[in-house]
Amino acid sequence: MQERLVDRRPEVPADQLVAQMVPPPMFDEVGFDTYIPDPNEPSQAAAVAAGRAFAGKVAAIHKATHKKTLFGKKKPAQGAGLYLDGGFGVGKTHLLASIFHSAPAPRSFGTFGELTNLVGALGFTNAVERLSANSVLCIDEFELDDPGDTMLVSRLLTELSAVGVSIAATSNTLPGQLGEGRFAAQDFLREIKKLGSIFDTARVNGPDYRHRDLPPAPEPSSPEQLVDRAASTPGASLDDFDALLQHLSTLHPSKYGALIDGVAAVLISGVHPVTDQAVALRLVVLADRLYDAGTPVTVSGAKLDEIFSQEMLDGGYRKKYLRAISRLLALSRFEVAA
């Protein structure tokens, strides 16, 4: 019988939420030495140097914070901060994962959305307690489009920094807004008011590496081709788009990673532009988890670069939607190439 995601109802114990806060599998082996700066983009080499220097600070602060004296543990040193500001596909996540791998354990890595989900699942005080022993907290794609979540995370980072946890974060500035990067950084620093003074900002310019010299979005498969591909691909799932969207609404976003765990390829029939914001945001989280897992995606219906309506793309969550499209296209090309 063909597997369907809609038949899965994963449960993720709260205790596992912190343990699974690590870089996506595709970044398991990365480091500063494996980041190849574009010679035409000097900011990339500068960002690597900034990341290396920050990793050194993290180790020193963590050692000082947890060093015991004759009179007991010393007062925690203030955590350091690094903000990597740039467009899609310039290697910010690679650098962030390199910082994670260079830092002493314990350490945590997750997207902004995963962090807010963690706080929601554990409660604020419990989340602070569980993360306070970290040497560093790495936050990928820090988002400014939800004031409530932003201020919640700002409060969390303030308390963690005060006990010696360093913070590294990336932005979600669009390639077409590179000239506005300074303002994006200022928005970030303003939101985390108490942390603003400790953050250094490193700009990472360049084109989206996922789409360099690549053709436009692949043409969707026919419904018949999709069924045949699902049948011939061990471990693949095949779902109707609307049924999958409805299923996502019944699951907490923190479970989306478990939803696709072990799935070799995700095939979706009847894709069409999404016009509801709540539905679109759930789809963004699923796209992030699929990309983290490197799971190939094939669809029938509309092209993946048409999955969000123009009204959605013109709204306040434009950055999230374009990031999701970029990642889904990369996954769809991977499947076509395979």
List the chain domain ranges. Answer: 5-10+214-337, 31-210
Q: Which CATH architecture has domain 31-210?
A: 3-Layer(aba) Sandwich (3.40)
Angle made by CA atoms 131, 21, 320, in degrees to the nearest 5: 110
Residue 17 pLDDT: 81
Does position 214 have pLDDT exceeding 60, yes or no?
Answer: no
Within 8 A by CB and 6+ apart from 298, the residues are 221, 226, 229, 265, 266, 267, 268, 332, 335, 336
- The tokens for 134 are 């970290």
Alpha-carbon gap, residue 122 to 269, rounded angstroms: 36
Does position 233 have pLDDT exceeding 60, yes or no?
Answer: yes
- The tokens for 148 are 């409530």
Q: State the pTM of this model.
A: 0.72
- Each residue's pLDDT tens digit, 30-62: 999 999 998 889 999 999 999 999 999 999 999
Q: 47 φ, ψ to 5°?
A: -70, -35
Contact 289, 260 (CB under 8 A): yes
Between residues 284 and 319, which one has the greater pLDDT? 284
Q: Considering only CA atoms, which of 318, 289, 227 is closest in space to residue 12? A: 289
